[in-house]
Structure 1
Amino acid sequence: MQARATRGRLTRVALAAGMLLSAAAVSQLALAAPATAVTGLTRQTSTGPSNSAAKTQNKACPAGTVALGGGGLVTGATGQVGMDFMLPLTGGTAWSVTGREDATGTGSNWSLTTTVLCAPAPAGYAVVSGSSAWASPSSNWHQVSCPLGQVALGVGGAVNGASISELLLQDLRIDGSSVTVGGSEAEGGFAATWQVQARAICADQPAGYERLLADSAYSSTSTQTVSVRCTPGRTVHGVGAEVVGGEGQVRLTAAHASSTTEVTVSAAEDETGYTGNWKVRAFAICAN
């Protein structure tokens, strides 16, 4: 009798434990909702005046939407204008690009185009910011990570400290759940301290999420361009770029969504040229 009673109690305990485990599993499945597509995504652009002055070009998203990614394009004065700010503004509802001429300046006219990818805020939307310490290295970088379980859709960055293009914004990398922004001093160095600012645009992983990249040829060509296109059925949600090599003598001239399905990155050697090999890399974050 005692043995049967003991077995009965153990059976009831096991059943209760099993029910608790089943309930926990159901709860976890409920939390792990399937990925959904980002709806209502649009590509917005704005081009400023063509002249020979430092300038900032902002583009706001339509009401009720936020920036998922963005970038900029310099037209004119090849290699003598640096885009030292390419990032979402506070609140994430607009994108800003700033361009400045190098130390010798240029008499040529040039303009800035800002491109931003906008949509109603997806689940988990957040902009995470961070900056490196103020210092005076020849090159520097800073990485920020998204909240646990989220992915990076877009990246923004800046090099702070110079009033002209003596600091080059060269890396805007997207690595799954984090972004890395890098910069370097221009040819001839920079005497004062400076810092790198990084912003990651994060969200729950959308349906069809993919991170694609493409490189130009590794060569000593004075200008280089590369594009990467989304898999059919997907659209660009975020933009990234990188200059590989160049030693502070190559400036980004384009890092933007050239269409709703393609990212284009371009760069050019400065006016004194660069004898070594270098290349540019384009990153596209695409999703349904």
Structure 2
Amino acid sequence: MAALGLAGGVQLVSAVPAEAAIGAIQVIAGPLSPTNSEPLKSASANCPPGTQIISGGGWVFVNGRGADADSVVLSQLQPVHSTSGGQDSFVVLGQEMAPGTSSTWWVQAFAVCGQVPGLHVVAGHSALGSQPEQKADALCASSERVLGVGGRIVNPVGKVTLTKVAPLTATTAEVVADEDATGLTSNWQIEAYAVCAPAPAGYQVVANTSSSTANSDPEQVAFVNCPPGTRALGTGAVELSPKPGTGLQVVFPGSPLEVVAVESTPTSLLWGPTLVQGICAT
């Protein structure tokens, strides 16, 4: 993955034969959460009636962008597909990393919505444990493709960050989370989500990195666009060499797709670069 991410627009997954048609796609921006200094904030973006959640994203923003602006990160990026006729949605949670911040901040969710035959959401989870890094995979059927991804830290406590929420293969979504530099003695767990559907025409995953090498910048920003003639279905985010105290702050399904990773706890260690993935189809 690191080698693949060194050049802009690297194709990670080859196109496959068309099996499903995807209609018009909408990116819905949800309302801002309350702006205050509470340690946890959630936000959601709802799909219009008659459409389904394909993917989504979110960001946290610290007002003033002071010295502690990177101490707030994303701890949940979850596609929610209703099986009872309700509206689909994308749910985001932001959290302050210990010891927190006195600055005010907010979180916002984005939902990528459309009509996709055979769409469903699959979840997977890591074992409950106290290891410093945990991984979880969510698997689509071999005849399906990952259209969108998600992940969450179960019961976030301000000591664990998401460092990967991305397609691992065309049929697998993978989530990775890491403890901060001081560690966590109690057990914790993460969940991974894959939005699965029969392969759409022109399916491919492209990627770009924030830089060509690891560095110790407090923020790493990466952008990518889907190739001409294709549309962005989902966004993946990966810290290629995460270090304790680094985490994802922005996963934005706009144009271009954007990922921002930050040092929630300042470190002199080299980390990253940060990779953004675009899940694309015609």
- Fold shared per TM-score above 0.5: yes
Check the 8 A contact 1:250/1:269 in 2, yes or no.
yes
Q: Please, what TM-score do these two structures have when normalized by structure 2?
A: 0.85
Instruction: Give the 5 Å matches for 1:101-180.
Output: 101-120=96-115, 122-162=116-156, 164-174=157-167, 175-180=169-174
Separation in 2, partners of 1:226, 1:91: 32
Aligned to 2:5: none
Question: What residue identity is the alignment partner of 1:212?
Answer: V
Counterpart CA distance in 1 for 2:246 and 2:21 is 37
Instruction: For residue 273 of structure 1, give the secondary structure of its aligned residue in structure 2.
Output: coil
Using the alignment, how far apart are the partners of 1:132 and 1:275 within structure 2? 27
Q: Residue 179 of structure 1: CA displacement?
A: 0.8
Residue of structure 1 in register with 2:34 after alignment: 49
Q: Aligned-residue CA RMSD in angstroms?
A: 1.8
Q: Kindly report which structure 2 residues correspond to 1:17-56, keeping only aligned pairs within 5 A, or say none.
A: 34-46=18-30, 47-53=32-38, 54-56=40-42
Match 1:83 to one of 69, 74, 78? 74
Q: Deviations over 1:212-266 (max 9, x none)?
A: 111111211111100110111221111110112232221211112123xx31000
Unaligned runs of 5+ in 2: 1-16, 63-67
Distance of 1:78 and 1:244 partners within structure 2: 22
Considering Cα pairs closer than 8 Å and 6+ residues apart, tell me whether 1 or 2 has the greater RCO.
2
Q: 1:181 aligns with which of 175, 180, 191?
A: 175
The secondary structure found in structure 1 opposite 2:254 is strand
CA offset at residue 278 of structure 1?
A: 2.2
Identity %: 27
Give the Cα–Cα distance (whole angstroms) in 2 for the partners of residues 176 and 64 of structure 1.
26
CA distance 1:180–1:34, shift in 2 (3 Å):
closer
**Higher gyration radius (CA):** 1
SS at match of 2:108: strand
1:62 equivalent in alignment to 2:48: yes
**What SS does the corresponding residue of 1:79 show, helix, strand or coil?**
helix
SS at match of 1:227: strand
Per-residue displacement from partner, 1:257-278 (whole Å, max 9, x unpaired)?
A: 123xx31000111243342232
| Cα offset, 1:34, TM superposition | 4.3
1:224 aligns with 2:220: yes
| Number of residue pairs the alignment of both structures matches | 253
TM-score computed with the length of structure 1 as normaliser: 0.83
**Post-superposition shift, 1:191?**
1.4
For 2:81 and 2:53, locate their aligned partners in 1 and report how far apart those are by CA, in whole Å: 11
Which piece of structure 1 moves more, 236-245 or 132-141?
236-245
Larger helix percent = 1
- Supply the AA of the counterpart residue of 2:262: A
Shift of 1:124: 2.1
- Aligned-partner residue type, residue 106 of structure 1: T
